[in-house]
Amino acid sequence: MRSKIVAGNWKMNLTFDEADEVLDKLMTNLEEHAALSCKMIVCTPYPYLELASDYSGDSYFEVGAQDVSAYDKGAYTGEVSAAMLGSMEIAYCIVGHSERRAYHNESDELIARKVDRLLENDIRPIVCCGEVLEEREADKQFEVVKRQVTDGLFHLTPEQFGKLIIAYEPVWAIGTGKTATPEQAQEMHAYIRSLIAEKYGKVVAEETSILYGGSCKPSNAKELFANPDVDGGLIGGASLNADDFMAIAESLK
């Protein structure tokens, strides 16, 4: 059975004190509510990884980073390596987010190298894919996502692929308040699963968690998560509010 997952992507938000406050509230919520039926991951900016890890301990939620260098180590000022994350026992890392593709010109080839570095260091990549509005309007969404998944990920062995979490995030829905309909999400998730099945077989495809991301909030999470191929969500804005993030996690059964 594949895992149900709710992952928060804090992006470049919150001061240290604000981060501390959100984590503190999240812990209170987790302690007060019945156990979740999904795995919760919080992907913070690098400076807050240790704080989040201290809060999470071994049990309540897991901690992830939002990006990683494609290089091993050395003279790459400002970069953070997968080995560094691994040495802090960070278990997850987002790669290929549309904001990195758009503002940092990240290609599928670069994303493939980042995925390799993470896997070498036993960190599970949360790999984002998704089309921009013009591509959706031109009915090119399947072509675009196929290219991203194929060029970014299909060099992996089946065993390596089994470590991935995929996040389908239509770029037109990220931070815009415009959510994909449950039908649009299901259609694309089923398509991604069919690509995986074609390349790696049905078992790997059935075991891969595919998350939806894009303006997911407490009011729409339930109907998005009710789809058979939607295994949870990658949550941006709503993950900055501990109550909203908790409510989203609770709607994933």
178 vs 101, 225, 231, 238, CA distance in Å?
20, 16, 20, 14
Q: Is 235 in the site for ligand PEP (CB under 6 A)?
A: yes
Piece in contact with ligand PEP (CB under 6 A), picked from 29-37, 190-198, 209-217, 223-231: 209-217
Closest Cα to residue 162, out of 188, 111, 137, 125? Answer: 125
Q: Minimal distance in Å, beta carbon 125 to ligand PEP?
A: 14
Name the phi and psi angles at 40, rounded to 5: -110, 135
Of these residues, 62, 106, 169, 250, which one is catalytic? Answer: 169
Piece in contact with ligand PEP (CB under 6 A), picked from 29-37, 66-74, 85-93, 235-243: 235-243
Task: Provide the token pair at 130.
Answer: 């998704």
Q: Is 215 in the site for ligand PEP (CB under 6 A)?
A: yes
Contacting ligand PEP (CB under 6 A), which of 9, 69, 148, 208?
Answer: 9
For ligand PEP, the closer of residues 95 and 174 by Cβ is 174
67 vs 86, 165, 181, 186, 204, CA distance in Å?
13, 14, 28, 27, 25
Q: Is 250 in the site for ligand PEP (CB under 6 A)?
A: no
Q: Minimal distance in Å, beta carbon 159 to ligand PEP?
A: 27
| Half-sphere exposure in the Cβ direction for 16 (13 Å, CA) | 5
Give the CA angle between residues 168, 232, 34 to the nearest 5°: 160
CA 55/CA 176 separation, integer angstroms? 31
For ligand PEP, the closer of residues 111 and 205 by Cβ is 111
**Residues that are catalytic:** 97, 169
- What is the contact surface with ligand PEP in residues (CB under 6 A)? 9, 169, 174-175, 213-216, 234-238
